[in-house]
Structure 1
Amino acid sequence: MDREPGLSVRLKLTLSYAGFGMLAGGLLLVTVWVFLLRYVPEVIDAGSPAPAPDGSRLPAPVMFVPDRFDLLHAFVPRAVAVLGLLLFFGLLGGWALAGRMLAPLTRITDATRVAAGGALSHRIRLEGRRDEFRELSDAFDSMLEQLESHVAEQQRFAANASHELRTPLAISRALLDVARREPAAGRGDLIERLHTVNQRAIDLTEALLLLSRGDRGTFTREVVDLSLVAEEAAETLLPLAERRRITLDVSGGAARTSGSAELLLRMVTNLVQNAIVHNLPAGGTVTVHTEAHGDTSLLRIGNTGRRLPPALVSTFTEPFQRGMERVRTDEHVGVGLGLAIVHSIVRAHGGTLDLAPNPYGGLLVTVRLPGPP
């Protein structure tokens, strides 16, 4: 809704400065009147004849003694002129002073217009001592930096998601084209391959929806014990661990937090599945440990495997990032969102996620979540 244009802040400040100057001058005149002019008689007797030596009276010398009317007649025009000068210099000086005071605000406004045009890389970087405008400028720069990072992350995520979704669709189309050109080809093999490709597209779509849900943080909170969630996830993934001859060990005590039981189960399941899949070919181990430290609940999941460089570990929580040591070609190849979903769920629950390479190979994952209120 458009509003009618009003006075600018600079003009308002100018009028305020000039008004205060006029008020101060008026108070000064009132003070002069109250404490000086009101005690001057309206009419002053110039003097009576002085007595002569012989008893007669001599005419008194003529003296000019101004009365109240004379003082007002001489004072008022000059007072009005002084008030006029106060008004002029108040407006002139107020306009210049207001412009100087509002100059940082003008820079912030210009930066806002630039950012609204899509240039999120622009920064104000206001110099000078720290005052209200400097704090506003720094806060605005910080907001722009976070917004630019968030937008870049979303754009990168959208591009990667489009690429990942386009791959199974392109494969499906190629398979259908082959089947159309060669109707005599085996339908069983075609159906099986289409089922695999479509299942991958479904898994990717569900992962994207889950990641979006975790980022929004819109879920009903309840008290959840991470030790019970870890046992449920381990029981579900035990057949996978046995097929790969991986020892799965769950230990620790109760570790309660507040959040979504479904999302926390998906978080633990993703972590345990990653620890099983990205392990030694045989004879590896996966340890799951839960404990409570004061108001914080801890979940630690470690596994064995190849030694991982720290630079590679730092990229694991980014969407669609698969380090070369982590790429799998079997039926458990992921969509590249496992740890990104974990990170999103942990962040939505107000916790922290730490990834560190084990000294002897493998990965150590530590999740810290706040306890229930």
Structure 2
Amino acid sequence: MRIRTCVRLACAGLLTIAGAQVAQAATAQREAAGRLADGTGIEAVTLTAKNGVSARILTYGATLQSLKGPDRDGRQADVLLGYDDAADYVAHPNYFGATVGRYANRIGGGSFSLDGKAYALPLNDKVNSLHGGKSGFDKQPWRIVSVKDGTVVLALTSADGDQGYPGKLDVTATYTMADDGALTITFAASTDKSTVVNMTNHAIFNLAGEGSPMGALGHRLTIPARAITPVDANLIPTGALRPVQGTVFDFRNGRTLADGVRDGRDPQIVMGHGYDHNFVLDKGLTATPQLAARLEDPASGRVLEVSTTEPGVQLYTGNFLDGTYIGKSRHVYRMGDGVALEPQKFPDSPNKPAFVSARVNPGKPYRHVMIYKLSVAK
């Protein structure tokens, strides 16, 4: 027998997030979504805006399982790559829509030093540690703290030494849907020992609808960034900043992803197998979320705006999707079928003193506010 619990709330108030006022969502619905092998229950919460945009969040990995919205003709579609069944996120992990941490992206050599002490991390990306290690936040069952007023708050405790990182970390991921279709995700973490933290959401988008046969490379992308952090053969930033002007990385005035994703004349595209690079946002680190990227699908008219308080955004064109991942509605996912836009600190910041620091100290909690706003072009 399926257990189902629903919470439906009407709200006309305002929610203050990092100094900005955002209209709250109207409804929230909570339900059971299966169990892990050890019997731990998985739950799902669906947040729905008055304009028809909805998001479904799983407690496993604090995962954004779906994001649905209408096209210019009012037809609904799920724009996130992923799985229909929560159990597949356990059996076939690929970070689809997951909350990643403690450290999103790569740490070169799987090691860093803090206050003169060296820390070794799991090597789960050849010679690097990726997205928090072999058992990062994306592979943990989170607990629901509350569901109310269009908001779900999830929490996780990461022990001192978890995946090699110092300090006991108490983490929350808060999802809030506004009536204009803006989904705000707020990450917060406090520690009892100095550590490094870099959290983001790893949603992979196809605004034409996941599984659309044309993929996402026909989307038009704008990123307000004058530079990227170029990488070496192991996809670790060299420490330099490379201007985007005159390159396939110049998205300041908007360009189609297909224009550069296979441009073998650029060594960075060759090393990344496409776009898999951090953009240095012109805005830098900010107190309130500001625009990091705008993604547009000319065919459907859907538009995604990504805003963040963080100084960088990682552009990833699904380069390692190789047809072995069978997603929603039994769709086979391949390279270019989706695009990720992950706001975050720069990759390998703990080993790059010139980059914005990812250090978090006791008494000074970590906070990252990001927004996915799904709409239709007028």
Question: What TM-score, normalized by structure 2, do the two folds share?
Answer: 0.24
- The structure where helix makes up a greater share of residues is 1
Greater Cα radius of gyration, structure 1 or 2:
1
Question: What TM-score, normalized by structure 1, do the two folds share?
Answer: 0.24
